[in-house]
Structure 1
């Protein structure tokens, strides 16, 4: 058994086997019109690969590989430093995003191939890739991304196929992830190839995209081969049993083009779709009708659904409307399941071994520096994947990005200013990767998803910058198909054939035979199961039920199904300086992206916004928020089931704008008339925190610069939206009468004092790990689920209340708890995003109605206290006292990373490990993961 000194010596010996590529001269500089006024940050660090030796060093000594954590402290520091930010100190919180590398900042220069040079900078280890040919440029991108994040890419390509467990073991989180993505994108290998062939046929740009992707894959595989021969590949391949640490026997499977399609489908499912909740909507709607009757039930449903809430803020606010996704007045083809008949379609069949055991919620492995368990370096790696290579909540839908863009008319310099970025969650390594790409027809710098980085997906060009937020307009419908038996016998809900255009046809099945054995870091016993997706012509089956006693299946129809890689054409144009010369050019390129994103653009003179997506042309009688009858009369206009194509809305029908006074987006409503896919785009939405601050400054005649716009983002990112936007109305109702009980009055005063100080969740001082106004924050955290239930359940009744919570959770707290049941964890803990989903607008509307306010889009008669202000007020005070008596360890139950009752830790951001390197906790902030601060003073 090796001792620590021997382990370090072994690590050094392995490291000495690396053969550095020959140094080359730095390439010629590329025109850069940002003039050091572009900055960005992406925690924890650029480098996500750790060799076997580095994993051992991390386990034994707590050290991390270079550039694996050098952006984390900068990112975290903004929470305590934003109020004192200046133009001179932006570099303390963001990295310079200029093109090129200063000679004194060059860390190393090398050539993976003769036609490409890679320059790594000292500051963050970002690869700056210069190709003398286009093929060399994208080859270099593949090589450099594999250098930084090969193991992550490997895990993600398997997740996109629903095959994580055979690669990484049967831990619950691995199973959870593969099932989640297999459920929405159950592709055959033939269908993955079909998507490649389809893009290649789309003219010159399609042909070029295929060549770029192939060169990129060639670069990945070149790194795999060199690192394997040189024995400096990621050490996780040893930990998962794919390569022997002593003999080097084993294999790292090369990448193929179809792997990129699998990765694209994963990204699209995670960030680029909307809709698909129609069955849950139907159950909730029916429950209200049963409780109140059709007329009153429909009034309450409409207020909860908030399809076109007149109080909702919108990104486009210039007076135009963009109707899309709304329900007609008299819909036809609506299919409502019989009460109590809905069951989910199983995915898992024939489980054996550990797979036969109920899957418990995964617990996150300890972050930071885990203590060594033995002196043997191989044995020291045991346990790093006890909970799987994929952290809990990895597959949760993301919608956390934000954007603030102010036109030059309202800035001090007269040039537009933008602070924007996507929120992809906190992972170690990060899902995104940074790069600069310079070559024929490509000139960009920014972030891309690792494994899809042959183009920059979010970043900047020579004289413009762009970013996106998740839009989630409705691209997914649920069709109800009648089940049948091909032999004519009576059908049941278990029948696997359905009626389609007059015939009884069998469902297609797509299967994954997933088996696993214990590996070096997986304590899960040997096991296996079969994943099966039952597919109709409309899409995968998600539920079964009866309708008027007849068995039906509900199938998910998604406009981007079989078309995940079509968006490549738009991204190709974003990277092409010849294609993007104006705001209008950018909008047209964004229109070529079929995923649902809000795109934002800024150059030295113009700003722009465009909402992309394969927006469907539906029949005028169809209500897309409800299940639809599987009948040609209600199918998408022009729909061809053979290739899942249809007629889509025109460019000008998408929400769009150029040079509006300002744009803000935090996954809020895109424009008047554009229906939200869920009920959260309503009267109170976290985008209010951005919009109000920008709007009020502009209305007062104030001007913005990079500092003040960054401060708006940062302050909103530490503000408890419930406190700022809902608590004032709760206090108005409470203040209608004096509070006679001094203890209760003291509780109210704590909340009032916190609100007066901004309602923020910030430390007493940076690094204290204790919140200012900690008692008030805990009080609101404990109060919210109690007051929501107390406000609505008595009037709605338990069945309807539960059905509505199944449609949308009542709360998305920073810690991931406090959602209506003690200890209920909803998946986003330690991941930053908060206040996107929840009954915030519903609570606000109803309380204001109780107060006698005029409430557009409200419930009609108030629900709280049966409409009696005194009864509603009494409920608020009763639940407030109940909240004060709630133990801290119930409000913050603790987990693998935090002790019960530790408020700061419960909120804290943790870079969840996808590999063997953990990171330190940082303070909670509701903020994009990758963020740019941009102001171009000049252009071409």
Structure 2
């Protein structure tokens, strides 16, 4: 082993030396930010590690340079934000000015004559300077491979449903490939068709294709050089793709269709809204069964929370943008018969260690990301201030990478998804910055296809033929046959399975059921299906200084993005907002929240199944604004009248945490600065939404009479915690213990008991369970808690919390009990049937159970944490996607790439 390590170390040093040139400062760039632009992306820029790096990490705990040097900055903000000053912002964020001063140059590489890649000492971020556009893009690809080659390879296999055969059969690998293959099951020919279609859109499409080809040339040059020089990522050895001694084996070159796959992974996770109509229908029917049709519909609509008048909205200047609303008398619904729904099988013929994986895991659609943007009318300098960024999850290495691109027609610095970094996706230009949050407005509908048998026999739920335009058509199938053997990196037993997607003109089949006794297949159709790379035209403009000279220019560019994002913009004069996405024009009589009969006159207007095109709402009908007093977004509702996806956008939303803090600054006439806007974000990131927005009303009910017995001590602790702001904050940086730890434990234990006790008696087990399937009752940093108290599901340690939960429902119900005004009340009174005394007893009984619940049950432990370790249960853990792991950090609900910007001047 020592001989192998020595050989690889030598090869790494030699290979690195051959690729470098004497360090020189990056050429000065046009930069109007005046050292007032900062950003950060933990854990670090360097996501590649040689075999030597990985072995040293496993044995000595060391990490390659720049693999973790942004993690400490990021982790330190929660304990230090209250004392933040303009002089100390750099302790917690990187300087994101253009270029690299001479004294800060770490390395200079010229992978070919028309491009130079300069890296800075502080972060190792690549600053790519091209004398030609092709050279700039070549450099972007080369730098991406330097920093994320293994991750890029992993993700192109994830999107194709081939990760297990590439990286091993660990359960996490299976979950990833199943999740993304089910959303975008394309053939290679279909991937190429999407490239051809995008290139045919006009000059920008032609340019995007040329840029992508140059980018791939850069990636593939690094692939060849690193393989020949033996300084490639060590995971290729650990997974058996390359022999450590002979160097035999291959690292497959990247191709254009890989970029489409990577785009589909990003779009499916962060830019696809809607869906879930089958689960909605099951919940609605259960409520009608419980309450009767008329009252059940009323109860369902209150849980649906469509256009909740109490929901916090990004656009609050009085504009209305009606879209996606339920009509007064819906037509065309295809509701399943009770008990007939079954999920479409995705995994077939499992063998070996794949046994027991025949039912695919359900994708978790998380919103993530936030933004705080304030107009210059309310700032100290008179110039806009923005603190914003996406929350793409915590991984090692990070999915996003930082870069600066400078060349003909390109001038930008910021973050891009690894493998799609031929443009900066979120970041800054010469005199403007932009960012996005997931919008999740409804661009996905579920259609019920009548099943048929071509022989004329009666169809069954398992039949793979469906009626369409007078014909009995076969479903087409896309398969991935995966097999794996134990690897050094994995250790699981060998196994295999086949992933099979059944596809129709209306998209992939997700469920089977009967409707009125007839078998149907439910298929999911999203407007971005078969259009995974159309958004490239918008991103290209974001990077073009000639295309973006104003807020209006930015909105126009954002309208070219077909994924569902909320876009935010700031320069020295203006702020702006635009909601992107190809919103299909529906039949006005269709309820978008319910499954719809296919091929029955209720399809999208202008829909053509060949290529999946339709009529889309024009840009003017999308929520948008310029120079509103401020904008906030934490995946909340966009605007009045805009039915924006899930039931989570109710009376209480985590967006309230941002909105209240920014509003407080403005209403108190406190001049907004980069410092206090960052403080507002950081304060919200530590606040338990339940403690700030719901607990005060719960305590009012409890305090309607004297409290005695075991609950009294719990009430006292909760009051003290709430009075101090309801924070989940460490006693001191690195203490791994919370201030008010017992109050937090009580709240975490109480919530599932409380929601069960308050709502289940009225809804009944079936409706309660069905609605919990639509919207989980509780999403804390330690993971989702479903209807069973103490049962955690979903992903713990994810950092993003409080998006999904029944906080709004509970708030409305409790305020109704208190006799307080409620706009858009619940469709029934739940807590104690609306009686204050009975409701109070419900709360106290649940609280007594919670206070007595052992901490080891509240925080049940997992593979990363012991049962009862409260801090660890909440801690952020970077999920390893390679051989280098990262240390746990204390929870904070915050973007994973974040900018703090204020421009003093403009072109």
Please indicate, yes or no, whether the TM-score normalized by the shorter chain is above 0.5: yes
Among candidates 804, 811, 817, match of residue 844 of structure 1 = 811
| Conserved 8 A contact 2:162-2:177 | yes
Query: 1:356 aligns to what?
Result: 355
Q: Which moved more, 1:311-320 or 1:50-59?
A: 50-59
Q: Distance in 2 between matches of 1:267 and 1:110?
A: 30
Q: How far did 1:358 drift?
A: 4.4
Q: How many residues align?
A: 905
Query: 1:865 aligns to what?
Result: 832
Query: 2:40 aligns to what?
Result: 41
Matched, 1:595 2:592: no
Matched, 1:572 2:571: no
Q: Distance in 2 between matches of 1:100 and 1:25?
A: 11
Q: How far did 1:397 drift?
A: 2.7
Q: SS at the partner of 2:193?
A: helix
| Conserved 8 A contact 2:29-2:99 | yes
Note the 1:508-657 alignment, pairs <5 A. Answer: 508-657=476-625
Note the 1:877-888 alignment, pairs <5 A. Answer: 877-888=844-855
* CA displacement, residues 704-736 of structure 1 (integer Å, 9 cap, x when unaligned): 000000000000000000000000110011111
| Conserved 8 A contact 1:105-1:122 | yes
Q: Distance in 2 between matches of 1:257 and 1:86?
A: 46
Q: SS at the partner of 1:128?
A: strand
Cα distance change of structure 1 residues 351 and 740 upon mapping to structure 2, 3 Å threshold? closer
Among candidates 873, 883, 893, match of residue 860 of structure 2 = 893
Among candidates 715, 730, 736, match of residue 763 of structure 1 = 730
Query: 1:315 aligns to what?
Result: 314
Q: How far did 1:9 drift?
A: 3.8
Q: SS at the partner of 1:708?
A: helix
* CA displacement, residues 72-111 of structure 1 (integer Å, 9 cap, x when unaligned): 0000110000000000000000010000001000001110
* CA displacement, residues 875-897 of structure 1 (integer Å, 9 cap, x when unaligned): 10011010011111111111121
| Conserved 8 A contact 1:24-1:111 | no
* CA displacement, residues 446-492 of structure 1 (integer Å, 9 cap, x when unaligned): 00000000000000000000000000000000000100001111100
| Conserved 8 A contact 1:303-1:858 | yes
Matched, 1:806 2:805: no
* CA displacement, residues 669-699 of structure 1 (integer Å, 9 cap, x when unaligned): 0001111311000100000000011112212
TM-score normalised per structure 1: 0.95
Query: 2:687 aligns to what?
Result: 719
Q: How far did 1:173 drift?
A: 1.2
Q: RMSD in angstroms over aligned alpha carbons?
A: 1.3
Q: SS at the partner of 1:87?
A: coil
Q: How far did 1:57 drift?
A: 1.2
Q: SS at the partner of 1:681?
A: coil
Q: How far did 1:589 drift?
A: 0.1
Q: How far did 1:817 drift?
A: 4.9
Q: SS at the partner of 2:87?
A: helix
Query: 2:257 aligns to what?
Result: 258
| Conserved 8 A contact 2:402-2:414 | yes
Q: How far did 1:22 drift?
A: 2.8
Cα distance change of structure 1 residues 913 and 10 upon mapping to structure 2, 3 Å threshold? same
Gaps of at least 5 residues in structure 1 are 362-391
Gaps of at least 5 residues in structure 2 are none
Query: 2:661 aligns to what?
Result: 693
| Conserved 8 A contact 1:398-1:423 | no
Q: SS at the partner of 1:905?
A: helix
Among candidates 887, 890, 896, match of residue 923 of structure 1 = 890
Cα distance change of structure 1 residues 142 and 592 upon mapping to structure 2, 3 Å threshold? same
Query: 1:364 aligns to what?
Result: none
Q: Distance in 2 between matches of 1:789 and 1:84?
A: 41
Among candidates 445, 453, 456, match of residue 421 of structure 2 = 453
Q: Distance in 2 between matches of 1:8 and 1:345?
A: 48
Q: How far did 1:357 drift?
A: 3.4
* CA displacement, residues 183-235 of structure 1 (integer Å, 9 cap, x when unaligned): 11010111100000001101100000000001001110000000000000000
Q: SS at the partner of 2:107?
A: strand
| Conserved 8 A contact 2:4-2:245 | no
Q: Distance in 2 between matches of 1:170 and 1:547?
A: 38
Matched, 1:747 2:714: yes
Q: How far did 1:524 drift?
A: 1.7
Q: SS at the partner of 2:792?
A: coil
Q: Distance in 2 between matches of 1:335 and 1:357?
A: 32
Matched, 1:17 2:2: no
Q: How far did 1:21 drift?
A: 2.7
Q: Distance in 1 between matches of 2:61 and 2:358?
A: 32
Q: Which moved more, 1:814-823 or 1:873-882?
A: 814-823
Q: Distance in 2 between matches of 1:251 and 1:396?
A: 34
| Conserved 8 A contact 2:301-2:827 | no
Q: SS at the partner of 1:355?
A: coil
Q: Distance in 1 between matches of 2:807 and 2:797?
A: 21
Q: SS at the partner of 1:322?
A: strand
Among candidates 618, 622, 634, match of residue 666 of structure 1 = 634
